[in-house]
Structure 1
Amino acid sequence: MTQRATVSVRVDPERCCCSGMCVLTAPEVFDQSEEDGSVRLRRPEPPEHLLPAVRQAADLCPSRAIAIVTPGP
């Protein structure tokens, strides 16, 4: 039996404009730095039930600081 590959999330705090949309959309996965407000990743491999919110957060990110990485074939 093969294990299904997991989707992973990557963030770029240097690119982040600190809007906080990611935290509002998927607080289980994203957080903001207390120092500068930039994005921090809480769960780099979120469970499947959180993926719709993660995708929405990536779509809403004005600076495109969130990347969703899907496994290859």
Structure 2
Amino acid sequence: MLTLSEDEIKEVTQKSTRKAQAKALEHMGVPFRTRPDKTIVVLRAALEASLGYATTNKGPPPPRVRLPKARGLLVR
């Protein structure tokens, strides 16, 4: 799922009221939004990133430059 469920937000914040949950999320540095019906939306990726568990797609490593064995000749 893309967002945390209400139960997961309660588990993360250890709070049951929305106002207390928002305050706890702010304290933990977790970005969130409030819907028009006052429910809290937390993206799963945002929670993982703020807690240091994010996985990033770094792609393939850059190519390594091979220097010739005679590289000592290049040093002055």
- The TM tier, using the shorter chain, reads 0.3 to 0.5
Higher RCO (CA-CA < 8 Å; seq separation 6+): 1
Give 1 or 2: higher helix fraction. 2
Give 1 or 2: higher strand fraction. 1
TM-score (normalised: structure 2)? 0.32
TM-score (normalised: structure 1)? 0.33
